[in-house]
Amino acid sequence: MIFTIFLFPFFGHTQIIKITDNQINESGASKLIFAENLAKAADLAKSDIEKKTPFLLLQGSIAPVIYPTDNQFQEKYKIYYYEFGCTGLNYKFAAEYNKIMFGYLTQKYGNKWIRIIRKDVIGLKGYQK
């Protein structure tokens, strides 16, 4: 199965980013629930960056929330939102994973991404302080 993310820019053509089940299942984001410490969470994030499948982790609920700006952000910064839904997630591990991703975004793009990232990304408030 292939997941398709549709991107609708303000002007121009619609672009489609495809991510496979295998890429999601092999990602550090999906393995984070098995992490035993903060160092492992950081290693999973670094591995995702190396594999060019970085994610930003969100704590969701029963129904996923998708904003119109999500696709624009994902396209521009080549990073995917990953919503955990109702599953129990260690907040500290998710914040550590995202902290690595925030550093990656800052190193690659400067601080521009902070203005348009979803404000419910786990650990963002602590990172901005």
Which pair of structure tokens corresponds to residue 107? 């190193």
- Domain assignment present for residue 10? The answer is no
Q: Please report which confidence band the pLDDT of residue 97 belongs to, taking 50, 70 and 90 as the band edges.
A: very high
Whole-number Cα distances in Å, 21 to 4, 42, 75: 10, 22, 19
What are the pLDDT digits (tens) for 17-56?
667 888 889 999 999 999 999 999 999 999 999 999 999 9
Structural domains counted in the chain = 1
**In this predicted structure, what is the pLDDT of residue 100?**
98
Position with higher pLDDT, 111 vs 84: 111
Enclosing H/E stretch for 81: strand 80-83
- Whether 39 is in a domain gets the answer yes
Please write the tens of the pLDDT for every residue from 55-93: 999 987 777 888 889 999 999 999 999 988 777 789 999
Q: Is residue 9 part of a domain?
A: no
Containing structural domain, residue 66: 20-128
Tokens of 11: 């002007």
Within-domain flag for 11: no
The answer to whether residue 14 sits within a structural domain is no
pTM: 0.83
Q: Specify the length of the chain in residues.
A: 129
Contacts of 122 (CB under 8 A, 6+ apart): 57, 58, 59, 91, 94, 95, 98
CA distance 39 to 42: 5
Cα–Cα distance measured from residue 128 to residue 65, given in angstroms and rounded to the nearest whole number: 23
- Whose CA is closest to 3, among 73, 69, 108, 83? 83
Asked whether residue 109 is domain-assigned, the answer is: yes
How far apart are the two ends of the chain, measured CA to CA in Å? 40
DSSP 3-state of 115: helix
Q: For residue 37, tell me if it sits in a domain.
A: yes
The verdict on residue 64 lying in a domain is yes
